[in-house]
Structure formats: structure tokens, C-alpha cells
Structure 1
Amino acid sequence: MSPEPDVSVVIPTCNRPELAVRAARSALGQTWRNLEVIVVVDGPDEATVKALAEIGDPRIEVIVLPERGKAPNARNVGARHARGRWTAMLDDDDEWLPTKLAVQIGLAEASGVPDPVVACRMINRTPRADSVMPRRLPAPGEPISEYFTVRRGLFYGDGFIQTSTILASTELWRRVPFTVGLRRQQELDWALRALREPGTELIYASEPLVLWHQDEDRDRISLQNPWREQLEWLRASRDLFTPRAYAAFTLSVLSSMTAPTRDVKLFRELLAEARGQGRPGALDYLTHLQIWALPPSMRHRLRDLIVGRPKSPPQPQDDRVPADVD
């Protein structure tokens, strides 16, 4: 391993030592060997520090923050400490398949653009089934906000980006940090802002290279429903969305957050927001209606039945390898 790694891997974690170790091992098991793994522990956490030390790999650096600042802050700290030309983010409850970095670095270096943002497909694993997301890649000339938000079916995941799939230049991560304090849509917010920077372009690896564990019985950020906060973020970020994308986000993401309240006033409020500030399509109205009409458990089962496939084990990791929101 050279003194300067080609790529830095940033893993934020807090009080989940088993998951942090699993994520770190999946990074260390990459076929691209010249890397460093920066685990940012979000506040004092002796159990996690001890578990990571037991891995015994000199490529791991552990940074313990003095107090909790949440995942966006931890990722920003990791990016500031990164030494590699490239930095890839990895959430502690996700895993990478072994060729993930090799494929993405190859795409980045062949892209011909100064600041490529390279994402990939992922295996979305629920307790019932696996599905691959995104189900489609961006069409030529398609506005990026519409790719991420406008559905072509009733279930999310047509266009998609998730933190653990993203590799970009370390300089870009520093120039466009994550928004501290934003609880949901952290990667969407980052991607929309980053892709407005000069010289950037979104590139996807067509194969799934990340295993996303959607354990619906475990507390995770994606299960929180701070809908008022998200509406405020959407309104403040209006310039990042086309009218079509604004309406699609309102009637899918915000609808999913508010539907458990069963408050008809909120149902109507979101319709008014989408119509007044955006340009909804027929499928957006249908999405809004089915989210409010069907219980989440039923929607989840239908999603897995229609777009899922039987669960299959991920590719094995080997440290000895040489150098769809509802």
C-alpha cells in the first residue's frame, strides 16, 4: 500500500459496533486495495472503537467526535480527513460487494469530465425480498431532479441515489458538504447541489454493487417522518427542482410521511402544495391516493411482490483478495 491511498472510504457510526465492523470489512475486502477507511464515531463509544481495533488492519483510521453531531456532520469530518483523490461514502448498516470501488474508479477515470459523481445500482434487501434499485438509469437530457423523483410506476426506486453508492472526488465532497441538521433526503440534497457545480456529471455503474439492508424493525433515519421539516427544506430548495419534480416529491415522499396521521387536511394541503408550486402528472395523483388508501405494511408487501425477487446472499468478502419512502 502506498503512503497516499487512491480512495478514502468514510463510514459514520454510533453505538452499532457489529454493523460498523461489517461495513468496514466490506470496504477492506475490496479488490481495489490501495484505500483507507475512515470510521467517524459520532460521540464517545468505547464498544465500537474496541470492535474496530480488533479488525487489525492498518488501513483503518478511527476518529471519535467529542459529542454527537449526526451522520451529515460525521461524513463532512471524514471528507476533511480524507487523503485519497476519491472519496466514497458508506453508511454503517450497508455493505459493499467486492468490486464496487474498482468499477466506480474505472468509470470515473474514463469519464472525461473534471468532477464525475459515480453512483451504482444496489440490492435493496427487506425481510421479504430483494429488489434492485434504481430500476432504470437517467435518460439523455432528463433533468436530474426529475430522474430522482418522478415515478414511472406506483413504487419508489425507478430513479434513485443512496449515500453508500456514491463516489466522487474528495475536493468535491469538501466543496459541497452535506447539510448538517437535515434528517431525511440527505443524499438527494447533496446530489442536487453537487451536480450544479461546474464540471460535474452523474454516472452510474449498471450492476448492483451495494447491499442496502432495509430492516424495517430497526430504527433508521429513513423510517423517521419529519414531514414539516422536509416541506420547509423542499420550499427552500425550490431552485433545485423542476415543477414536475417538485410535485412528484410532494405527492410521494411527503405523502408517505403524512399518511400515517390520517389527517384529511394534510392530504389536501399536499395536493395544494403540488398544484400551487409544481406541475403534477396523473401518476403523481394516483401515487398520493394509494399511499393514503393502503396501510404501509400492505404497500410494502405489494412492492416486494411486484418489483422484488427471492433473497439471495451477497458475494462473499475476502480480505485476502489481491491488489423504492414507499
Structure 2
Amino acid sequence: MAKDHICYLVGNENEIDLWNQPWHPKGILTSLISKGKTDSSLVTLSNLNDIHHEGDWNPILDKPSLKEEKALLMKAMFNTDNTNRVIWKPTVDGTFCTRSAWESIRSVEQTIPWSKTIWFKGHIPRDAFVAWKALHLKLTTKDHIILSNSTIDNNCLLCNSEAETFDHIFFQCSFSSWVGRIWMERIQRIFEQKRRHKIQILREILANIKIKVNGLPLQDEDTATRKWIAENLVYKHICKINHHKVSTWFKPDEEEFKVNTDASLEEERSGIGGIIRDHEGLPILIFSKDTCSDQIYALEMSAIYLGITRAREMEIKKTWIEFDSLFAVNVIQGNTPMPWKIYSLVY
């Protein structure tokens, strides 16, 4: 396959074996010219220099019996700097690169309509890969696994009432009919032995909807739809919006990201979380975590640490961190004595 994309640029004929080296664009000369059928005067030559020297071809090629051989040989490519080079034809400068190799051998098909839905700028690789597999019906649901292991139980892990198939999990399961993020919950139940109540998952979904509706920029073509979602689904039926104050969110520089973190402490529960946005203000990741701490300063520092960790997992190199805890600012700057409970988070 590679030989179709390379050719020789001959500069020093003395180094080239006339018959056994691939100096000709069409390949090795023995595969192009039969020695038993061509003129013997050509067969006796062994070096390319014998037939081509300093830009001139050997006069023996003017023989009528070598007319076809001459036409073939004159398609060779010669270099003027006295060096022999291997040229990678797919690139302009003849230098090999992996991308050009892939572009030259891959099969180019028509772009599918949902490609930008999966592979967009700032996508989360793990989530995009799962979505891509789902659209190709290649998720490892039990109806696929049972083909190689007939001993497993094929009941759905979520509702435990019907056979587990792609259509069942996403469209028919009584558990998934009203709860999102089904696949991640299933993975946690299988590999991490973690189970969340439906209400916990629902709260996470509603928080994501609220942030996305508030954070995504409206476009002319989807303003009406987005407005309807905000007014009829999110604000009226799901989210309780408190209009206490107006805050200004400053966008990070281009190709940089901003992490906003916060913490919450109530009588019987606490939690931390945040959001990562790109330079256009588009949310690319929402994260949260239940905690058992009863100290708000420890929660604030834990939220910052979690935000930095999530950014590193996404291989984000330039990150702004934004939070509303003056205590955390003073601790990081060394202006406030550090409680021992958060020492490990800072150092």
C-alpha cells in the first residue's frame, strides 16, 4: 500500500541499481521490462549511470526495438542536487507525516448529520465515545454480551423486569423512562457497586438543565425553542429561581477555560460542585459531590480542589479558577493560618 504513495527522486545515478531498485515511479524495472524479450544491449547494462548520465540518455535507446522501453524509462524523476531522495507524494514538500498517510488511505464518506452533536469543540471524550457507540448500537448491553457468554442473566440491571437491550434501556425501561444519565448509573452499579436513588439522579439532571439553559448562548434559529424550554420546563416546573442579586461573569481568554466552584452546607447534608466553561461561556462540564464535612471552609477548599482535578482530567492546560470564598483566597495567598483539616488540599 505504501509503495503507491512514494517515489524516488534520482540525483546520483552511480548509486542506483538499474534493474533491482525502485528508482522508477512505476516500480522495480525487472517487473516492468522482461529481460528475455527486450534488446540484449539494454539487458547488459547494470547501473542507472550506464543509461542516464548528467541529463543525457544513452543513445542505444534510440533503437526502434527499444521504443517502448525508452518511453517508459523517460518517466523517471531526477534531482539536480546530486542526492537521491524518497518522496512522499501525498504532501507538497514530499515529507512524510502521519496525517497525510491517514488521509491517503482512509475511505472518505459523506458526513453524517449528527457528527457535530458528538464531536464538537470542548466535548468530553468519554461521554462523546459512549454517545458514538450508542448511535451505532454498539454499547455492551447484555443482549450483546450473552452472544459470547450464554450463562449470564440477561435481565435489565435497572428495572430487573425485562431483557436488557439498547431499546429497552433508553426507551422502554420503567427506570429510564424518567431518569437521565442511565448508562453512567448502570456502569457505576456494575463496576463500582454504587447505587444512587432515583431522586439523587433526578436532582443532578435538573441542575444540569438549569445551568445549560442559563449558560448557553441563544442563536436566532433556536431562540423560540430555548425560550419555551426555559419558561415551561425549567423555571415553572423544575427549578426554583431566587432573584436576589445580579452577578457579572467574565469570560476567560480565547483557548482558556474557567472553573467556577462553590459549596453548600445544610443541617443534615453538605456538598460541593462547580462548572467548567470555555472562552465563549459554553458549559463543557458540570460536576458535584456529596460530602460529610460540617465545616464550610473545608467544603470551599474541597470544591476548588475538585474543580482543578476535573480540569486536569480533561487535560486543560490554561484554567481560571473563580470562587466566592474570601477565606480560601487568604489561605491560598498565605494571609490566613491554615486549619489542619485542609492542609492536604493545599499542599
**TM range, normalised to the smaller chain?**
under 0.3
Larger Rg: 2
Higher strand share: 1
Q: If the length of structure 2 is used for normalisation, what is the TM-score? A: 0.22
